[in-house]
A and B are shown apart, each in its own frame.
Chain A
């Protein structure tokens, strides 16, 4: 998984609780991404980061926030989890965001919101 770890790998939580997912990379890549994967929707971009403290929204950012205080760590926070946020979350990294930059994915976190 290209030097990418995600934690936790599985989490069950209740509606209304805050949840933070962590992505850690050892590749020193500048760009990091959070996706969610759901049946019928494929992979959808939530947020991405283009450097320390530099982030931007993706396609499905509502209800999520992110932070990047170090190059190697990118955190995804659900301030108040809802059942619609039950999903599998993948972190990805890339060296750049040019036309031929490849993204490499972590192992995923399965989140269940009851």
Chain B
């Protein structure tokens, strides 16, 4: 696919199992976080977001957890399906040089075994 990284950490799960993808962020002052999904040959696609005044947010089959104490985000995917196979990026909206900038993690590749 498009250049998403040759040495990405990879999570392999059985179809139907739950997946948990983790991400550490850098700035304790960041107050908004986003998870993106990138399929081969496509651009990053917004999945779910969370503000720093929350510790959990649920979407359709996805849940994001935020632990500000240890600067950690996780994305949980319930009943993982083959269509969930992709690279997943977390991003933090960081205030720097008088503006907000999205800082992306390096990504995790999710492989779903049939």
A56 to B106, CA, bound (A): 24
Q: Are B95's CB and A88's CB within 8 A? A: no
Closest to B94 in A: A99
- A97-B99, A98-B100, A100-B51 in contact; A105/B6 too (CB < 8 A)? no
- A90-B44, A97-B100, A99-B31 in contact; A40/B93 too (CB < 8 A)? no
Interface size for A (C-beta < 8 A) is 28
Q: Are B43's CB and A107's CB within 8 A? A: yes
Which one of A4, A40, A56, A88 lies within 8 Å of B2 (CB-CB)? A88
Q: Are A42's CB and B105's CB within 8 A? A: yes
**Count of A-B residue pairs with CB < 8 Å:** 69
Determine whether B45 belongs to the interface, using a CB cutoff of 8 Å to chain A: yes
A104 to B37, CA, bound (A): 12
Q: Are A99's CB and B89's CB within 8 A? A: no
Closest to B45 in A: A105
| Chain A proximity mask over B32-71: 1 for CB below 8 Å, otherwise 0 | 1010100001111110010100000000000000000000
A56 to B34, CA, bound (A): 23
Which one of B6, B36, B95, B105 lies within 8 Å of A99 (CB-CB)? B95
Q: Are A42's CB and B32's CB within 8 A? A: no
- A42-B5, A99-B32, A102-B49 in contact; A90/B100 too (CB < 8 A)? no
A-B pairs, 10 with minimum CB distance: A105-B43, A43-B104, A105-B44, A100-B32, A39-B6, A88-B2, A42-B104, A88-B3, A39-B5, A107-B43
Residues of B within 8 A of A (CB): 2-7, 31-32, 34, 36, 41-46, 49, 51, 89, 93, 95, 99-102, 104-107
Beyond A4-B43, A100-B31, 18 additional contacts (C-beta under 8 Å) are A39-B5, A39-B6, A40-B5, A40-B106, A42-B5, A43-B44, A45-B102, A97-B100, A98-B100, A100-B49, A100-B51, A100-B93, A102-B46, A102-B49, A103-B102, A105-B43, A108-B2, A108-B41
